[in-house]
């Protein structure tokens, strides 16, 4: 292990992750999310044997966050509340509420449900965010409807880069159409994210907290914000 660590120190890190390290990082991310976002649904690890007849000796799977709700607001309020919230949040009086509890029962407002999955890409060697959205009755939303739920900057990019930003692809494990945030630039900006901070330049630490950092960027694309405390512990642990 020492030799492996030494080798990793010498070779400049390319911003990628092995599938084993993805599993480690997923555990850390899931724990921190539970700690700092108690009112949100947790991220679950879904173990997956792709082969029905044989148990996989290699642990494969993905992270899953199901049934996040986006409640549509009127045009004026929409700009300031364009982020996804949990159903449970309206019941948490300790948190600052973006809207009245009463809006939950108002029949005029539609509720869009979102499922998010974080899946490792063997080709790009980075995590990839997959998601889908559906009405309360289970009817899937097309992309032009989802676009309305995205933060303004994401909706703008999507309209400009229709084919390469958010693409409609088959879920690698579920064999169903899902939306995917295209990962081809991920390793480069992950590398940049860590490059300037020499105090974080310990590869074991980088790997363990990869997903927390990754999600602090990716989550914003779909309106899922990470609380600052979740990132603060990354910094404080390093110092």
Partner 1 sequence: MSSAQKQVWEGAIPLQIHLHESEVTTLPPPPPALVLAPRIGYLPLLISLVKPHFSSTLPPGLDAVWFDYKGLPLKWYIPTGVLFDLLCVEPERPWNLTVHFRGYPSNVLLPCEGEDSVKWSFINSLKEAAYVINGNSKNVMNMSQPDQVELWSSVLNGNLEIYRRVASKLKLGTSEDEYTENVSSVLIKSPQSTGDADVTGQVKTGRIPVRLYLWTVNEEFDDFEDAPQIDNWDKVSYINRPVELHKEDGKYFSLNDAVKRILPEFFPENSFVIEGNTNINQSGEEGERSSDPGSSCNAAEIAEIKFVRIQGIEPVLDIPFSWVVNNFVNPEYFLHMCVCLKVNANAVQ
Q: Annotated active-site positions, please?
A: 184
Alpha-carbon span 214 to 33, nearest angstrom: 13
DSSP state string for 100-158: -GGGGG-TTS-EEEEEEEEEEETTTTEEEEEEEEEETTSPBPPHHHHHHHS-HHHHHHH
Min separation Cβ 129 and partner 1, Å: 16
Binds partner 1 (CB under 8 A): choice among 9, 177, 204, 237: 177
Determine the distance from the C-alpha atom of residue 160 to the mean position of all C-alpha atoms in its chain, rounded to a whole number. Answer: 22
Binds partner 1 (CB under 8 A): choice among 6, 54, 75, 228: 54
144 scored as a contact of partner 1 (CB under 8 A): no
- Select the span of 38-46, 47-55, 107-115, 146-154 touching partner 1 (CB under 8 A): 47-55
- Select the span of 55-63, 66-74, 92-100, 218-226 touching partner 1 (CB under 8 A): 55-63
The CA dihedral of 50, 53, 57, 60, to the nearest 10 degrees, is: 10
- Select the span of 85-93, 98-106, 167-175, 203-211 touching partner 1 (CB under 8 A): 167-175
Q: Residue 222's closest CA among 124, 73, 82, 81?
A: 82
Min separation Cβ 169 and partner 1, Å: 7
Min separation Cβ 177 and partner 1, Å: 5
Q: Name which of residues 16 to 35 contact partner 1 (CB under 8 A).
A: 18, 20
- Select the span of 35-43, 102-110, 169-177, 210-218 touching partner 1 (CB under 8 A): 169-177
Min separation Cβ 228 and partner 1, Å: 32
Structure tokens at 109: 């407002």
Min separation Cβ 214 and partner 1, Å: 17
Max CA-CA distance within the chain? 62
Number of chain residues interacting with partner 1 (CB under 8 A): 33
Alpha-carbon span 103 to 70, nearest angstrom: 12
Determine the distance from the C-alpha atom of residue 113 to the mean position of all C-alpha atoms in its chain, rounded to a whole number. Answer: 15
Alpha-carbon span 95 to 90, nearest angstrom: 9
The footprint of partner 1 (CB under 8 A) covers 1, 4, 14, 18, 20, 49-58, 121-124, 140, 163-164, 167-170, 172, 175-177, 182, 184, 188
């Amino acid at each position: 292990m020492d030799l492996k660590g030494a080798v990793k120190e010498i070779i400049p890190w390319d911003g990628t992750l092995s599938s084993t390290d993805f599993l480690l990082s997923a555990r850390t991310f899931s724990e921190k999310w539970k700690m700092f976002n108690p009112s949100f649904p947790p991220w679950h690890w879904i173990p997956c044997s792709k082969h029905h007849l044989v148990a996989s000796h290699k642990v494969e799977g993905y992270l899953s966050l199901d049934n996040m709700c986006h409640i549509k607001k009127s045009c004026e309020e929409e700009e300031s509340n364009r982020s996804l919230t949990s159903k449970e949040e309206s019941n948490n009086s300790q948190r600052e509420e973006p809207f009245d509890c009463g809006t939950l029962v108002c029949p005029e407002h539609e509720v869009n449900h979102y499922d998010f999955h974080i899946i490792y890409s063997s080709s790009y060697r980075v995590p990839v965010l997959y998601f889908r959205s559906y009405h309360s009755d289970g009817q899937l939303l097309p992309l032009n409807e989802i676009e309305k739920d995205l933060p303004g900057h994401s909706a703008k990019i999507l309209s400009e880069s229709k084919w390469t930003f958010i693409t409609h692809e088959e879920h690698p494990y579920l064999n169903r159409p899902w939306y995917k945030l295209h990962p081809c630039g991920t390793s480069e900006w992950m590398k940049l994210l860590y490059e300037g901070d020499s105090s974080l330049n310990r590869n074991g630490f980088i790997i363990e907290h990869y997903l927390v950092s990754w999600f602090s960027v990716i989550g914003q694309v779909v309106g899922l914000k990470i609380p600052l405390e979740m990132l603060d512990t990354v910094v404080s642990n390093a110092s």
